[in-house]
Amino acid sequence: MKQTALANAIPLNSSIRLGYVKYFFVFIAGLMAPFGFAPFHIPGLTLLSLAFLYSSLQNCSRKQGFFLGLLYGIGYFGFGVSWVIVSIHDYGQLNYCLAGLVTLIFIMYLSLFPALVAYLYKLLEDKNRKLLSLTLFCVLWCLSEYCRASLFTGFPWLLVGTPLIDTPIKYIAPILGVYGLSLVCVFISALLTLAVSQNSPKRYHYLIVIVLILISPTLCKNISWSQIKQEPISIGAVQANLSMRDKWDETLFWNLLKYYENAINKLLGKQLIILPESAIPLPASYLDKYLLKLNNKALKAKSALMLGILQPTNDRETNYYNSVITLGQAKGKKLKRQLVPFGEYIPKPLVKINRWLNLPEPNLLPGKRKQSLIRIENHPIASLICYEIVYPKLLREQMPKAQWIVSISDNGWFGHSLASYQQLQMAQVLSLLTGRYQVVVNNDGLSSVIASNGDIIESLPPFSPGLLQSSIFPAEGLTPWIIWYEYPSLIFCSIFLIFILFIQLRRLFQQ
């Protein structure tokens, strides 16, 4: 159908009658935003993307704003979390049509958040007070990310402040927190829109403010929020790069055990040896002799060993924990608390649908909230398993006692996609927020050592086997983020939104 015919078919007062080109470019802007994240590391594109969205919301109706926000979200999440379809198709046993449909529904759900931000912005904006409206947009975006991270167990992936760790703003991340970074990111983007749209000298004022925001955090560059002990801990990590099919293939099981034993033998003598999440695809209760052998080897070499494995929740072994157990010089265990929806458990309202689709039902249970920290040679350490990396609150609960962080994952579920890169970048944020070194061990690649300032010291290549050998340094002390978490940003946003609502209500009653 020609554009003129399509235009005539749509009523003049329709929300769609905004200009098809504008909708298209907002969608493209959404596609562009994930390029600010790993592995691309171009934060400027995320800033420009948000700036274009904010600019597009000027001079449009609420309905038009909603559709613009929705299209932006479809582009943003459609590209940024496209890896979801890999696990749904390859391991959820759905054909590409059904897997695509499920992925589309998930992306549409996520896209509702920027859509609601745009709608509420148009509902509450004050066109006569541009800076007030600009701040409103930033506040709404920040609160939407918090809601997205909390509702229905949450999905705190692709928070827009994350790319700022590749800019000087990273130096104040321990003060601002994750949502504070998002607030700053959106503020810079919206301010850039004002600067471009102004023809008066105010344009230069806005540009000066943007430059100051970007460079002033360097004043905090040499501030050390934690006290690093000059007592290096030698570490070794095993990156097997096993595909999910090989990992769960019964005929290859004994070869897998031999592989890990040989890898551990090469690392014996290191103070800490780490294997990835669910390294051995069999419950620990079936591997007593094998684990005892590894324990004796580690004790003899004075090494601590941490490995991911399933543990039964009861004697009947009807359910399991995704866990980390310790051998040798290490003491304690970790039971995963934040399970992956659909991958490790099915939300209760959707159990019947899952059975109707004849999909396998996971039998994993979450661990208790309060768990003792794993200890390595009297060093208490924080531990995170896979999906828990994107929930900073779970890490804060282990602070300030923990002296470093161990994060284990198996992202083989998502194939050769962006997932592992994005997760590693979020791990960098955690080290930055807490001032702690971190060892990230991932089955399918990018196993890394991260310094207390969030920089990657050493890393193995993706999608290849290897042994990571390095050193980390224990740390003590409190960063501002450990003390006050995300509360300053969230409280500011809440108070500001209440203030805007008060102004709107007062104006309504005065009419």
Find, among 442, 395, 453, 448, the residue nearest to 419 by Cα: 442
Question: How many Cβ atoms from other residues are within 10 Å of residue 315's Cβ?
Answer: 7
86 and 414 Cβ atoms separated by less than 8 Å: yes
203 and 179 Cβ atoms separated by less than 8 Å: no
SS (H, E, C) 198-265: CCCCHHHHHHHHHHHHHHHHHHHCCCCCCEECCCCEEEEEEECCCCHHHHCCHHHHHHHHHHHHHHHH
Q: Which amino acid is present at 178?
A: V
E strand or H helix at 308: strand 304-312
Centroid of chain to Cα 9 = 43
d(CA 432, CA 99): 36
- Which of 60, 334, 336, 486 is catalytic? The answer is 336
Helices of type H across 81-129: 84-90, 96-124
d(CA 262, CA 294): 11
E strand or H helix at 380: strand 379-385
Residue 336 among the catalytic residues: yes
d(CA 440, CA 382): 12
DSSP symbols for 431-495: HHHHT--EEEEETTB--EEE-TTS-EEEEPPBTS-EEEEEEE--EES--HHHHHTTHHHHHHHHH
- Which of 142, 185, 386, 493 is catalytic? The answer is 386
Residue with tokens 């459609």, as numbered in its chain: 78
Residue 127 among the catalytic residues: no
d(CA 330, CA 346): 33
Residue 35 has which token pair?
């390029």
Cis omega before residue 39 (within 30°)? Answer: yes
Mapped onto helix, strand or coil, the DSSP state of residue 276 is: coil
Residue with tokens 């004994």, as numbered in its chain: 254
- Which of 277, 344, 388, 486 is catalytic? The answer is 277
Residue with tokens 């998930």, as numbered in its chain: 106
Centroid of chain to Cα 443 = 18
d(CA 355, CA 351): 6
73 and 26 Cβ atoms separated by less than 8 Å: no
d(CA 461, CA 239): 10
406 and 388 Cβ atoms separated by less than 8 Å: no
Residue 60 among the catalytic residues: no
Q: Which residues are known to be catalytic?
A: 277, 336, 386
